[in-house]
């Protein structure tokens, strides 16, 4: 038997979660966000399960080319746009759109001769201050693009910094509306949190990411409460059991020291599999379907689970690190991070199985 760690992808859950986004934003087209290898789920695998979306948001132009080569006909949008002049012919040739967020991109676009026009998602900085034109700079670049023969359609795009927090989107939305008043271009504003909480900002294109993978963007509402189903479940098995006396330690640094007789299971999963090394003692984990806690320091290939209250657990018992039965957000929160990071960090060495059959 191979090392027992496994990532199971429930592709029917991806399709189900797309349906949730669609029902929440019935009048919007969906640009399914599949950057970062579809948040660790595999870009082409995810795109196939999300083929009902009208478009895909990726990070790099090459990812867009790979989608075209795999036969996808939808709108494709690299979220940081192009980085150099050499990428522009690829955009034109493969009908890949681009975010345009900076004047140097407009300069390049004006300078090249292209075989066909490129569709532009013109990015406004409405307060996040990551990418995009300020409201002051926006009218001039819009005018330049409208005059540029290489430009096809124009969509206006912005991104919210605090849609998942109590601060919300009000001031950024107000800035967007003020800046684009009187213009009739299609608009795209909504990440998952905005799709879920702010229908007034759904506009023509929504851009859900994390919710498609069945995780919640919020700390005060779970994926299950939203009606989402987890797509990735990371499982492994107990490969050794140790009985610790009071005062004995488990693992590097002796970070866990038994204060009572403790039955410790060694699990075949470590930080080289993508499990967060910073997950402290007490991080939730399932053994034989029962919820327990991790113990001590996560090592490269192994971690420890407390089996004291699970007497039936032994070598070979199944372990769930996250996914079905244990939301990735909960594990992330215990480790001081977010579900997004854990999903994206799933290591190449973890074998993958696809589960197509889930009910919907
Ligand atoms: C990643 C990203 C999204 C998706 O965000 P989620 O929180 O995963 O829904 C949408 N828009 C932009 C610009 C992004 O970078």
Ligand 1 cavity residues, CB under 6 Å: 33, 35, 79, 159, 191-192, 207-210, 217
Tracing tokens 């969906």 back to the chain, one arrives at: 30
Å from CA of 191 to ligand 1 middle: 5
Cα–Cα distance measured from residue 163 to residue 205, given in angstroms and rounded to the nearest whole number: 16
* Known active-site residue 35: yes
Pick from 274, 264, 278, 296: which is nearest to 346 by CA? 274
Distance 286 CA to ligand 1 centre (A): 30
* Mutation choice for ligand 1 from 17, 161, 209, 210, CB with most ligand atoms inside 8 A: 209
Q: Is 275 a catalytic residue?
A: no
Closest residue to atom 15 of ligand 1, CA basis: 79
Full set of structural domains in the chain with CATH: 11-214 (3.20.20.10), 232-355 (2.40.37.10)
Residue 321 Cα to ligand 1 midpoint, Å, equals: 25
Q: Which of 59, 56, 82 is nearest to 70 (CA)?
A: 56
Whole-number Å distance, alpha carbon 13 to ligand 1 midpoint, is: 19
In Å, how far from its chain's centre is CA 234? 16
- The pLDDT assigned to 357 comes to 60
CA separation for the pair 173, 162 (Å, rounded)? 11
Q: Which of 200, 202, 175 is nearest to 187 (CA)?
A: 202
User: What are the structure tokens assigned to 147, written together?
Assistant: 């005059």
Look up residue 328 and give its two tokens: 């990735």
List the structure tokens of 153. 């359609």
* Sequence-separated (6 or more) residues with CB below 8 Å from residue 328: 215, 230, 232, 322, 339, 342, 343
For the chain, which residues score pLDDT lower than 50?
360
Spatial contact of 318 and 8, defined as CB atoms under 8 Å apart: no
Q: What is the dihedral of CA 257, 258, 259, 262, to 10 degrees?
A: 160
Query: Which residues, other chains included, contact 14 with Cβ-Cβ below 8 Å and sequence gap of 6+?
Result: 41, 46, 49, 50, 212, 213, 214, 231
């Amino acid at each position: 038997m191979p090392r027992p760690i496994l990532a199971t992808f429930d592709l029917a859950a991806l399709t189900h979660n797309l349906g949730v986004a669609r029902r929440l934003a019935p009048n919007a087209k969906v640009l399914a966000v599949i950057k970062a290898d579809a948040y660790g789920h595999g870009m082409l695998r995810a795109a196939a399960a999300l083929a009902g979306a009208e478009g895909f948001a990726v990070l790099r132009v090459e990812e867009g080319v790979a989608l075209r080569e795999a036969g996808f006909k939808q709108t494709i949008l690299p979220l940081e746009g192009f980085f150099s002049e050499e990428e522009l012919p690829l955009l034109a040739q493969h009908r890949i759109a681009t975010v345009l967020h900076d004047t140097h991109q407009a300069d390049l676009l004006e300078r090249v001769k292209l075989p066909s026009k490129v569709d532009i998602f013109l990015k406004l900085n409405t307060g996040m201050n990551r990418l995009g034109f300020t409201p002051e700079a926006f009218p001039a670049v819009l005018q330049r693009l409208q005059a540029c023969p290489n430009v096809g359609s124009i969509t206006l795009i912005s991104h919210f910094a605090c849609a998942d927090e109590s601060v919300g989107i009000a001031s950024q939305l107000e800035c967007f509306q003020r800046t684009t008043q009187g213009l009739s271009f299609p608009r795209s504003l909504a990440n998952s949190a905005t799709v879920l909480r702010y229908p007034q900002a759904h506009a023509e294109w929504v851009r859900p990411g994390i919710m498609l993978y069945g995780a919640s963007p919020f700390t005060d509402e779970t994926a299950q409460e939203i009606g989402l189903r987890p797509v990735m479940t990371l499982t492994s098995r107990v490969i050794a059991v140790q009985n610790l006396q009071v005062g004995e330690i488990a693992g590097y640094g002796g970070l866990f020291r038994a204060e009572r007789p403790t039955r410790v299971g060694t699990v075949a999963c470590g930080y080289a599999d993508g499990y967060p090394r910073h997950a402290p003692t007490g991080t939730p984990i399932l053994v034989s379907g029962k919820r327990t806690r991790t113990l001590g320091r996560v090592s490269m290939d192994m971690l420890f689970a407390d089996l004291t209250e699970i007497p039936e657990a032994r070598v070979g018992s199944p372990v769930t690190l996250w996914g079905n039965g244990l939301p990735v957000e909960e594990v992330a929160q215990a480790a001081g991070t977010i579900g997004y990071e854990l999903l994206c960090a799933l290591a190449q060495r973890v074998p993958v199985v696809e589960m197509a059959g889930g009910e919907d």
